[in-house]
Amino acid sequence: MALPEPFGLRRSWADHPWRHRFMADDALRAATPVLRVVHAAAIQVLEENGPDTEKFGNRS
């Protein structure tokens, strides 16, 4: 099954998105709050559904 490519997203990840290290650092800093929220939500869903999440609790 082939999915349509929305808004040329393949181009954004296929091309090199930054020209030097500082731009890469900025990209990681921008993604960090989003990843923290996603991680917290995933842990919450796991805790609500029973698996042991103790191993994941001490990670930042």
Domain boundaries, the chain: 9-56
What pLDDT is stored for residue 29 in this prediction? 81
Give residue 52's pLDDT: 81
Q: What is the pTM of this model?
A: 0.49
Q: Give yes or no for residue 46 having a pLDDT over 80.
A: yes
- The secondary structure element, H or E, covering residue 34 is helix 21-48
Q: Are 43 and 56 in contact (CB under 8 A)?
A: yes
Q: Is 50 exposed, middle or buried (0-12, 13-18, 19+ CB in 10 A)?
A: exposed
Distance CA 12, CA 35 (A): 19
